Every structure is written in structure tokens, then in C-alpha cells.
Amino acid sequence: MNSIRALALIAALFSGLLQAAELKVAVLVQDPAQISMQGKLIPSSTPGADLVAVTDELAREICRRIHAHCAFYYVRLAEILPGVEAGRFDLGFGNFLRAPEREKRVAFSDALFRSSSRLIGTPANVRAYTTKLAQPVNLANLRGARVAALDGSRQQAYLDRNASERALTVVATSTTAEALDLLRNDSADFALLPIRTGYALISRDKAQRFVFVGPAVTAHGLGDTAHIVLEKQNNALRRAANKAIAEIKADGTFQRIMYRHFPVFLD
Amino acid sequence: MTTEDDRHRPSAGKAFVVLASVFALLFGAVVTLLAFDQYRVLAAATRLQHETVPEIIRYQRLARNLDQLNHEGERFFSSHSAEERQQALFLVMLVASHPSILEHPQAAAMARDTENYLGEINQLAARDPSALRARYPEWQRISQRMHLLVDDISVEGANLATADLDDMAGTMRTARFKLLGALALVGGFILLLIALLRQHLIRPLQRIDHALSSLDVEQPAPQFPDASLAEIHAVEEATGRLHKAMISNEAARRELELLANRDGLTGLINRRHFMVGAEAEIRRAQRYGRPIAVALGDLDSFKRLNDTHGHGAGDVVLRTFAGLLTDSVRQSDLVCRYGGEEFAFLFPESSVEQAHILVERFRQRFAEHDIRLPDGVLVRVTLSIGLADASHCPLEIALQRADYALYEAKRLGRNRIVVAAEAD
């Protein structure tokens, strides 16, 4: 009898330990108004609310699968990676593309989905630059333009690398919604954004002021698989997160979350 | 002793080592080949699992994404408003921007053309909505091409597995033949081993067992065919030596028995051997109710002969007496030197009367026989005999009665036979 009690006590202790796992999870926002708000409380009218909702649901599902209590923080992209690196966050949900300099700082989970990047602009700017360049505008031939990109993103890194050679003015924004605001008020000619983000923003623009410009790009680090970032040393958490990702993909949970907020599921 | 021939004869241990080595080499070679096949199958399975299947899935996803693109193009044409068309066009652009489509040249070109075509139609429709209906057949052709591409990609993806599966199936077929070969090899080796064991070990051992079981000094030495194994040959040789030793031992035993049962001077059986034989004969005669008689004889005046001519003369007389006695009695009769110059007789299958005739004939013959002594003197010696029936009494009693009769013969003047009176 005593041994059964002891076993029950040990089981309860372990169960308690698992339950006691507290994780700080950073979730990428698309608009400054979403910062520091709780996921379900983010107004659907705010730009990119669907994207935040997808990310939030994914993060919560993974937390549930790894049996952790998670505290969610809604932050800008530029805060996530340094935050994870410094240990302020355990998991960073920002659809991060892999890059050598990022690999040195944080660990990456298995892939969530695949992504590419694409220029967004107004039809007026497209016409203007088509005339100016004497050919249809695309990312490869764009010169002398002001291009907005999310601060800390791979798109910004690409533009920075090519800025001087192609006389580009890189305008860094803290959120993607701000990038479109720059286009609206003519503070930027184009914005270079992840395709999914770009779609979510311009398809919800009632005035339909924006179009995709040129073909989508995956080269130069602008496209590939998107991941969660984690602390580099936390292998146990990485393994648990990878297991959870595999599970939600295998049982259809991942697809259902995507379909709740997007009309198509692209794998 | 090891001969030159033996040195060239293989030992069982060496033969076993050679056979086991050959088998181990052959079996090891087949197992190695099988292990190599297994490695190839595992490698193909790993390649299938980690490379081919993900690649097939990638193709299937691409086909599904192209289907999605087609579907959104269809939705573009079935839209009821400019806003719906624009939303459909955004979705076409989203799908066309997916990396799975971008990295496949044909799919990327198809997606780009679709996107451009629908963008152009969208602009035309904004000015003239009837353009949608006019351009729909063209879209159907594009859609048809896209369907074909989806089919091609699906088949292309499925075909990726074919090479790996063919490789695995081929390797498994080869492995099956090798496995059958290995089984045949093991079976053949076991049969060969059984045949060799039977030929060179079991049958020679059976022959040796039979030879040892029937080994007898009366039988000739066992003969064996030429053995191929040194150990078997050695045992066969030892069996031959054992037979020789048995014959030698038997000869020695018989010589010892002779020495133990005979009187050294006369060559007649000694008293102990006589008593054993006589007891057996009397028991037999009494059991079957047959007549049997005993007698005790004593050379007359033998002491005086010794005293006159010396002990050498006595010995000559005793040997002469024994020689005549041996020639005179039947083969079934027992005669021994009972002690000194006294002799005992047993006459199986003879009544006292029949025995009396026999001893009387001998007494006369001996009494008339000239004996040349060592000093050249010729002498004649007589014999007194006491005879008794032994058909109804023990040997000791019969001898005792014969002894009384002998005493009576001496008392009556020697050189005569006295028959003991019938027992009461």
C-alpha cells in the first residue's frame, strides 16, 4: 500500500513538473495596434489580423501538444529573434526563414510551410517605373526606388545588400501594415514582403490600391521554408516542438488552422 | 608405431578442420553476398523513405497547388463582381508565388502565363464585362494545358518510386536465389558430411566393434580394409595387436595351467587336479546311476630300490611307470601321482569288475617290463593295487576303501590286486 502511495506521489510530482513548464512565446504582429494585445482580442479590422490569428492558433496548439503553460507576447519581428537569443522568449513565431547569420544566434524548428517574397506597389508606381526602366518592373531590375521592408526581415537584408549598387532606398518598418501605409502616403514606391503576408494585406484593402509587382522570388534568401525560432541550447524544447509540428501536420490540425483564416492551403 | 604410410594418412581432426574451413568459407561467402544484398535493399528503402517519397510528396503538392491555381482561375471567370474577380486574381497570384511552383520551370511558366493572362482579362473586364465570356474558351484551353501538366507532374512523381522499387525487387530476387543457393550448399554439405562420416568413421567403427565383439584366440586375427583416417587405422592396428596378445596370453595360461595341474616328474596330473576331476566324474555318475570305480596303486619295495640304486633310479622307475600307465589306460580314465610312489586311478563308466580287468592287465604288463636304471642295471618293479566301487559313496570314502584294499594287497605279499569289500 505504501509503495502504491509512493508511486502515485512520484507520478503526481512528475505530472506537476510537466504542467509547471512555463514558456514565453513571442507572436509576430502585423500592425502596431496589435502589440501587447491578447490574440483573441485583436480586432479583426486591424491589418493582418488573420495572419496574427493563424500564428496565435499555431502557437497555442503547439503549446498544448508539448504540455506547457505558455505566456504569449505580441511583438514586432525585430524583437523576436534577439528576444529568443537573449532568453526573453522560449519560442518565436514569426515565420522565420533560415539564414546563416540567424543560425548562429538561434535554433530553428522543422518547417511549418514554404514561403517566397514579392514586391507590392501601386498601379501608378508600377506604370511609372515601367516607363522609367523601359521594361516591366520586377525585383531583379528595380533601380532608384524607395522600397519598404520589415525591420529585421530577410527582405530587408536583401535590399540592404543591393541598395548601393542599385540606388535603392530601404525604408525599414516595424510592422508590415506600416509598410503598406508608406505606400499609401507615397513615402515608399514599393514594399518587399513575404507573399502570404502581402496577400493577406492587399486582399483586405477595400480600396484595392495595391498590386503584386513582378514574379515571386525564392532566391537570395527570400524564400524557402518558414520556421519557429528557439533558444539555441534548448534541444529538448526543439525536439518537443518538432514532434508537435509533425503531429499537427499528420492529423490535419495544421491544415484546419490555415483554412480557418485563408481560402487556400498551400503546402 | 608410425609408418611412412601412416604419415600420409590424414587424421580425423585435420579432415574435420579442412571440411569445416571449406564450409565456413563457402557459407561465409554466401552470407556476405546476402548481407551485401540486404545492405542494398536497406539503402534503397532508406533512399525511398528519405529522398524519393519526400520528392514524390513534393510533386503531389505541386500538382495540388496547380490544381488550386486552376480552380482559382475558374473562380475568376465565374465571379459576379469586379471585387470577387480581384480576390480570385490575388489568390491566383498567391498560389503562383508558392515556392513549389516557382522551382518547377514548366509549372512556373504556366503559373506566370496564367497570372499575366488573368491580369490582362481583369483589366479588359473592368472596361468591358463581356470580354470575360469572349475570352473564356481561351481560358479553357489554358486550363486544359494545366490539367495535362498536373497529370504529367503526378505521373512524374509516381515514376520516381519505380527505379527504387525495381532496384529493391531485383535485389530481393537475387537474394532469394542466393538464399536458395545457401540452403542447397548447407544441405549438400550436410549430406556430404554424413556420407563421409559413414564411409570413413561410422562403418570402420562398426567393423572394429564387430571384430572386438568376436575377438577370440580360436579365431584368426581380424582383417580390415585399408582405412583412410589415421585414428581408425591406429585402432585397427591395435585390434590386431590385441588379438596377438590374447593368443600369447592364452598360450601362457595353458602352460601355467599345465604346470599347476601336472606332476613335474612323471607328467601325470597331480593329486589336487585329480581330486577336482574325480569329484566331478563321481557326481555325474551317481546322478545318472552309472558305474564308476577308483583304485590306489603303490610300487612295491620302492624304498629299497632307492636305497640300493639311488634316487635317480627311483625317478627313472617312476617316469617309466607313468609312461606305461599313460599308454595303457583309456582316454576317459584319470590317473595321478597320489604321492611318493603311490598312484590314484578313476575309471568312469566302469564297474569294479571291468576296472579290475584293466588294472590287472596293466599290473602284469608293468611287472614284466624291464627298466634300465642310470647305472645300466635292468630291474623289474611290481605294483600292488587296491580297487573299490565309487558308484554309491563319496570320493573320500571310496579312496579310503581302496587304500584299505591296497594295504591288504601289500599284506598278502604285494604284486596283486585286492578289491575292497562292498560297503555296508
Quick: pLDDT tens for A175-229.
Answer: 999 999 999 999 999 999 999 999 989 988 888 889 999 999 999 999 999 999 9
Which residue from A199, A217, A218 is facing B90, i.e. has the nearest CB? A199
Closest approach of chain B CAs to the CA of A170, in angstroms?
23
Query: Catalytic residue among B83, B250, B341, B349, which?
Result: B341
Quick one: what percent of chain A has pLDDT higher than 90?
Answer: 76
Per CB-CB distance under 8 Å, the chain A contacts of B100 are: 114, 266-267
Across the interface, whether the CB atoms of A195 and B94 are under 8 A apart is answered yes
pLDDT, tens digit (0-9, with 9 covering 90-100), for B221-237: 888 888 878 888 888 88
Across the interface, whether the CB atoms of A263 and B91 are under 8 A apart is answered yes
Alpha-carbon distance of B339 to B265, in angstroms, equals 12
Per-residue pLDDT at A14 exceeds 90: no
Tell me what pLDDT residue A20 has. Answer: 46
Quick one: what percent of chain A has pLDDT higher than 70?
Answer: 90
Tell me what pLDDT residue B169 has. Answer: 87
Which residue from B61, B72, B87 is facing A203, i.e. has the nearest CB? B87
Domain topology for A117-217: D-Maltodextrin-Binding Protein; domain 2 (3.40.190)
Tell me what pLDDT residue A227 has. Answer: 96
Nearest CA in chain B to A114: B99
- The chain-wide mean pLDDT, for chain A, equals 89
Per-residue pLDDT at B165 exceeds 80: yes
Architecture of domain A2-114+225-261: 3-Layer(aba) Sandwich (3.40)
Within 8 A by CB and 6+ apart from B394, the residues are B282
Element (H, E) at A108: strand A107-108
Nearest CA in chain A to B96: A216
Alpha-carbon distance of A265 to B136, in angstroms, equals 26
Across the interface, whether the CB atoms of A223 and B100 are under 8 A apart is answered no
Tell me what pLDDT residue A125 has. Answer: 94
Interface check for A116 against chain B (CB to CB < 8 A): the answer is: yes
The CATH code of domain B266-419 reads 3.30.70.270
Per-residue pLDDT at A41 exceeds 80: no
Alpha-carbon distance of A92 to A23, in angstroms, equals 11
Mean of pLDDT values over A142-167? 95
Q: Domain ranges for chain B, please list them.
A: 1-261, 266-419
pLDDT class of A12 with cuts at 50, 70, 90? very low
Which residue from A216, A263, A267 is facing B97, i.e. has the nearest CB? A216
Closest approach of chain A CAs to the CA of B113, in angstroms?
11
B419, B352 in Cβ contact below 8 A?
yes
Interface check for A195 against chain B (CB to CB < 8 A): the answer is: yes
Q: Which of B81, B94, B123 to mutate to test the interface with A (most CBs of A within 10 A)?
A: B94
pLDDT class of A9 with cuts at 50, 70, 90? very low
Closest approach of chain B CAs to the CA of A120, in angstroms?
12
Closest approach of chain A CAs to the CA of B150, in angstroms?
15
> Phi first, then psi: what are they for B11, rounded to 5°?
-85, 160
Here the cell at position A40 is 483573441
Mean of pLDDT values over B353-382? 94
Q: How far does CA A82 lie from the centroid of its chain?
A: 15
Across the interface, whether the CB atoms of B102 and A224 are under 8 A apart is answered no
Tell me what pLDDT residue A38 has. Answer: 67
Decide: residue B311, CB within 10 A, 0-12 exposed, 13-18 middle, 19+ buried: exposed
pLDDT, tens digit (0-9, with 9 covering 90-100), for B251-265: 999 888 888 899 989
Q: What angle do CA B269, B270, B271 make, to 5 degrees?
A: 125
Other Cβ atoms within 10 Å of A31 Cβ, number: 23
Most confident of B163-167, B195-199, B352-356: B352-356
Closest approach of chain B CAs to the CA of A242, in angstroms?
17
Interface check for B90 against chain A (CB to CB < 8 A): the answer is: yes
Across the interface, whether the CB atoms of B91 and A199 are under 8 A apart is answered yes
Higher-scoring residue by pLDDT: B33, A249: A249
Alpha-carbon distance of B85 to B88, in angstroms, equals 5
pLDDT, tens digit (0-9, with 9 covering 90-100), for B67-94: 999 999 999 999 888 889 999 999 999 9
pLDDT, tens digit (0-9, with 9 covering 90-100), for A54-89: 999 999 999 999 999 999 999 999 999 999 999 999
Per CB-CB distance under 8 Å, the chain A contacts of B72 are: 264
CB pairs under 8 A between A and B: 58
According to DSSP, the β-strands at B342-348 and B378-379 are: unpaired
ipTM, 2 decimals?
Answer: 0.85
Across the interface, whether the CB atoms of B102 and A216 are under 8 A apart is answered yes
Tell me what pLDDT residue B6 has. Answer: 61
B51 belongs to the catalytic site: no
Per CB-CB distance under 8 Å, the chain A contacts of B90 are: 199, 202-203, 212
Query: Distances from the Cα of B378 to the Cαs of A154, B217, B321, B381, in angstroms?
Result: 155, 47, 14, 10
Per CB-CB distance under 8 Å, the chain B contacts of A195 are: 94, 97-98
Across the interface, whether the CB atoms of B98 and A266 are under 8 A apart is answered yes
Q: How far does CA B408 lie from the centroid of its chain?
A: 75
**Sheet of strand B417-419: strand arrangement:** B334-339, B342-348, B292-299, B383-389, B417-419
Report chain B's terminal Cα–Cα distance, integer Å.
72
> Between residues 41 and 80 of chain B, which touch chain A (CB distance below 8 Å)?
61, 64-65, 68, 72
Tell me what pLDDT residue B5 has. Answer: 62
Mean of pLDDT values over A37-52? 78
Nearest CA in chain B to A267: B61
Alpha-carbon distance of B103 to A254, in angstroms, equals 24
Across the interface, whether the CB atoms of B97 and A215 are under 8 A apart is answered yes
Interface check for A203 against chain B (CB to CB < 8 A): the answer is: yes
Per CB-CB distance under 8 Å, the chain A contacts of B112 are: 215
Q: Domain ranges for chain A, please list them.
A: 2-114+225-261, 117-217
